Structure 1
Amino acid sequence: MAAKVLHFLSLTFFLIHFSTAFTPQDNYLINCGSSINTLAVENRYFTGDSSEDGSSYLSKGKSVSLTNPIPSSNSSVLYSTARVFTSGSSYKFNIKNVGFHLVRLHFSPFSSRDFDLKKASFVVSANENSLLSNFSAQFTMLKEFIFMVNKEELEILFMPTQDSSFAYVNAIEVFSAPKDFIIDEGITLISPNGIQDFKQNISSKILETVHRINVGGSKLTPFNDTLWRNWIPDDDFLFLKSAAKIATTIHPPNYQQGGATREIAPDNVYMTAQQMNIDKLTSNFMFNITWDFPVRSEDSLHFVRLHFCDIVSIALQTLFFNVYINGIIAFKDLDLSMLAFHELASPIFVDFLVQSSVNTNVVRISVGPSDSNSFRKNAILNGVEIMKIVNPLGSEKRAKTKNIWILVGSFGGGSFVLILAIISTLFVLKCRRRKPEPTRVESTGWTPVRVYGGSSHGKLLEGAVHCYGIKIPFADIQLATNNFDKSLIIGSGGFGIVYKGIFQENFRVAIKRRVPGNKQGLPEFQTEITILSRIRHHHLVSLVGYCEEQSEMILVYEYMEKGPLRNHLYGPGLPPLSWKRRLEICIGAARGLHYLHTGSSQGIIHRDIKSTNILLDANYVAKVADFGLSKSGPCLDETHVSTDVKGSFGYLDPEYFLRRQLTDKSDVYSFGIVLFEVLCARPAVDSLLDREQVHLGEWAMEWQKKGMVEQIVDPYIRGQIKPSSLKKFGDTAEKCLADYGVDRPTMGDVLWNLEHALRLQESEIQIESQAETDVNSVNRASPRFIPTIHSSSAGVEGDIDNSSSEITSQVFSQLITNEGR
């Protein structure tokens, strides 16, 4: 009902859109050099700076008004006059709404008797921060900037350079941006070395618009945009036009609170798109749609905003695709329906910061089909905005202090050298007393990674050697795999191929070997080593050893006899699990996750909990595996970790999707999906089912909230479950899937309730309802599950299970199954 109400409201809002356009609190429109107020084409009034109303904006400096002696009938009325500055001069504007503002400067060089504006060369700054340096225009240009104005006055200064005696401007626009127009948190940095979290705030940067593209659509003018922007078609930027096919709709976008708005991009951007030209698609040939957007080679850092609106699907969660920027996968298995509040045709946008290689003169954006979706191969894109990062705020102030530091350095240099010599001597003496460190293995060209102050793969591997003490010769791995016999392949993943191997004394292992030259999965591989170097636990994966020889990178794990949980729930050829065994498996996985969240000061967030990442040993003991996407939890004074969205569709926390704020409650949500997966014995997402059943979480929650969850239980176990056990299990899963993280239980709470469900199942007499503790009110774990931290060279050990005789064989899900992330 709520969704229908929102849909109705959005349609109503669309009908009255043109009468309720955005009205900025700060809104200054100046027709420079004019003595009259002018109505521009987009029905906005520009105040003449020579008029009685506009003269108050002009501040210091000498300037004159200039009129174009030969105005063009095709150009804007704003370009018939100009303000010419013969010395440093400025406009000052009072700011009512501190925050992001848009500043547009119009330049149209014409010639008069006294001035040839094409010969002007000048600098423009805003509140002492450079916007344009040595600027000169040979044709009509509009320069747009977006930046934070953090005080109650904005001064825009025009300063002629030494090569020119004057500067000029034809028109100025200054207006406040809508709320949440630029969001500081959660922006992903795409660099030549891969994906990173952007540690700074965009609010400290100045953005200059380079491209604004209506993908698949026509040109949009300021009259069609609530922020009076120009959007141009994408035809000239398509790398291969035959790979793309235009998609359009006549229906207005389905705007949702928290997603894109008409101020982010106009309706027409979201009503058109380019999609894969499926006519060119064959089973043996896959392709991407690619756009090349030219940029200046000296500008290495750009803010990229991509706009999406699924106008091509007929059902939710049937479109999954990958997004690439400069050849690096920026978003894998993108599910627009998940980001768009489980609604079709609901606009969303995703922001990236892109750092290009030196002398790169294009930003390349591609979309292509996901390997994870065999149901339907397609990919779409609706709009692109690219803005370069201008000099950081305060750069001019730093330049002013440069000479002061040089002066201080000349006096203090001698003392500094003396101190440095003393420190170096002490350091050498200290190193001589150290024990010899393990020999560093030969480099294979890993991307540098920082771990606890380290800055290379060599230090990271040395840390792993210190913890595990096992470096396996390549010859031994060749022997264990019969020289990588193809018949021993048991799986594959983003990093490479997985083989079953046998060492001496019939010790079985899983061997994960990187495909030479393959960089996909390398950051995850490095994260895996980092995590496994810090933790040891009976219900978490453990590493046997590694090999780095002859340009090989190989990880070795103990072999998992029974494989992933998923195969035992609805995989072919395996007998169904009993209800009691399913409960025991869930309890084991919950123990591992609880330790992961609480076993260190910050804790670790897994970020990819799913049934393929819960593995079973020969005794059906559950182990949580695959830590390639894991992140350290927030510090004590923080509530979340701001990061890019990673995980697997069907299991992703919607709050994390929307806000990009990661907490351990995101793992709790994913685990809730696994609980329903265990109960119902069906996938988290099944695109072949009816629309209301595609997403397991939504479908199961409907039955759970109606108190009829027994209707969707796996028929094999329906007669085995005691009602009290089922109720406790269903209530626990429901709490895990709460919309907001603060309403979800901790993994300790989940663990306690699953143990309770098992006791209810095993008891001959039903425990009274008042003895049941609600999952949301319990804030403890059973003493049996509280981790005891031991200090040892083997890392951190969680002493959770007293049965030390059980074999702790653990391994990635990718080591057993072909189903990767």
Structure 2
Amino acid sequence: MNANTRKLLFLSCVSILFNALYVSSSNTTNSLLLNCGSENEGTDADGRKWEPDAKYLGGNHPQARAQIQDSSILSDVPLMDARIFRSEATYKLPIKPQTRYFLRLYFYPSDYAGLNVSNSYFSVVAAGVTLLNNFSAPITAQALTFAYLVKEYSLAPIDSDTLSITFKPSDKAVDAFAFVNGIEVVPIPGDLFGSGIMTGFSDITIDAKDSNLETMYRLNVAGQYIAPNKDSGGLARNWYNDAPYLYGAAVGVNRMANKTVQINYADLPEYVAPVDVYQTARGMGPDSAMNLKFNLTWMFLVDANFTYIVRLHFCEFELTRSNQKGFNIYINNQTAQGGMEAADIIAWTGQIGKPTYKDYMISVNDRQGDDHIQVDLNPSTLYKPEYYDATLNGLEIFKMSDQKNNLAGPNPELSAMLTKALAEEKQKTFQSSGVGIEGAAGGAAGFCVVAAICIAVYQRKRRDPNVESHTSSWLPVYTNSYTSTSKSTISGKSTTSSHLSTLAQGLCRHFTLPEMKKATKNFDESNVIGVGGFGKVYKGIIDQNVKVAIKKSNPQSEQGVNEFQTEIEMLSKLRHKHLVSLIGFCEENEEMCLVYDYMALGTLREHLYNTKRPKLSWKRRLEICIGAARGLHYLHTGAQYTIIHRDVKTTNILLNENWVAKVSDFGLSKTGPNLDKGHVSTVVKGSFGYLDPEYFKRQQLTEKSDVYSFGVVLFEVLCARPALNPNLSKEQVSLADWALHCQRKGILEDIIDPHIKGKINPECLKKFAETAQKCLEEAGTERPSMGDVLWSLEFALQLQENSEGSRHSTQVESSDISGEILGNNHETNLDSDETGEIFSQIVNPKGR
């Protein structure tokens, strides 16, 4: 054999080996993504390629194009095209036998030409498993307040190289049809599911290896949203922040692994969860004595009469030895881990930085009206660990198929009370709008979203009669749940607004102009409680006795119109205890109004200086700062994309009658998919004195710009003086510059508000001042995250309370795992009508 022949043979062998490796790799990592109803290939917002579905589908089934694209849909693929089924139809998809797969079905229940999407009732069966039965995507989306749905299933291995997925219109509905916008099939390498312990029975385990599952929730606890293209193992999962599911006032603290700690999976497959999940955790705090007095609690709504796998992810990145921290885990008030077998992460893993997870099973039945899963963590005292604490890094909940191989749950239903209210609202909209049936339907659909939220509150009140009648502290409307990246009404064409998306209109109550005039006594000047670049803010009364703040946009102000749109698009997607709640809007006859919860105690600034009101105590100031920090932290981490407020200041931190702080005024807020690249280039906007100098110089906006502004707020709270005071000497005009100078010189106490001077614990003051100083670092990369700021402020409050011999007013007794809020029980010695008729930045009548 000559040299050339040997070289040719060698290259042939290498080629064969390479191809074999490629085929092997592709069999385990390649996914099948179908853009249903489209004739062309397309790329989604995460850069993944989708192919047409026709070659996998038998028969002739029409395609349709959505007539409206919701603002939450960042790419046409895979949601804007749909495959329509008037009769039973089956996809035949190639798979590898004996392999577990994720199956994801995408539904966008919008308007399609010639179709009434409200008639779409259908079932879906895959590999003999009933995934959906008499399913209505419009009803489900409205009830959950999502623009679109992504239903994810994990199908057990089958002995076939073909996966059959059958869509069948319902026989029970007139003109019923089925539709689907996208189908995704992703092979799961290895075995992601094994056996789990039945909660309440430590000696009973259930094997889930061959079970069919539906993903209900997947959370990166205390961490940011993780997009499909950043998931591990090529599984393309969405991981969402856990903040909306925290139950009660005690939310713990966010922790992040030190950069020196490397996450070492060892024998744990990396596809179990991405590194980012294990680098953040929610803990209870540094004060062991205080931690014994409350639980960390999460609450999730689920379908009754199913068994669920609750998977908890753990990774210890602070402690190094076993028995330094042990804690109990309860699921629906039953012990999952505790007593002699309390959770000890280092004992489980043997080393710092090594992840692990534990699976627990829980059966949820409707014998007592159960429709939720509650997860509680609290410190174990049995072995007297070094620290009384508990932590969690990630959480997933999977529904297991029943004995009939069924995973389908019922469509959401309105109670009789809410059905009646919906009918009344529909009739009211019809009569007042004069736009015919379509207008009434649009208004009713918007109300339906609110009604669905009320159902959740009603169900909770049924279990706990002492709970307050609002949603903000229990299960807030969330931009990112496991099924969607946003929420919207599915009302179709809008007849109420030319400026607002269907998303905004669906999530807000629509008021008529006569209602706004009645609420404000025809916008009487005596009801004006604020003026800004957008226009005036009025105090108003709706629904006979409900106080509200009504922001009326000035039609002549382009700034006002733009901020009106931004504010409603932002706040329509967000609900949080520490964000001002948007009730509704009015856009009629070129008049635009926004309706908010009335904040009886006005702005934070009103209680600091240039006011006749009693001065706030130091402890109350700390509590207000912590509340505002929680709201900002939610904006930065709780949504799919970081939301930057861009105008953080003391006049945009409002106080309700119980002194609960709420961040307001989102007219300048920015968000976008490119923030993970570091910044957004944008025209500089904000308020001088609070403006991030790095942002001002480079016009590159990051969440650290909010951190800078909040640092100014912290010094404003401490010193009780404006951020800018031109009447002072040159070096003292800017509070940020002057406070940093005094801090570095060690004379900060000289500029502290005399009302609180001498009443602050020295260690608390040191921690607070250090936190504010770090927020004002010149370079944004040197500033802490809002999560770190929040942790530092909570620690400062604990130092203050320890010195006073008191306990935190917002903590919950460890025996009280109902999540009852105790943080709003401060006595208020101010009459709300006389002292707090302020809504937004009204101390400065010129606005921004």
Give the TM-score normalised by structure 2.
0.41
Give the TM-score normalised by structure 1.
0.42
Higher RCO, 1 or 2 (CA under 8 Å, sep at least 6)? 2
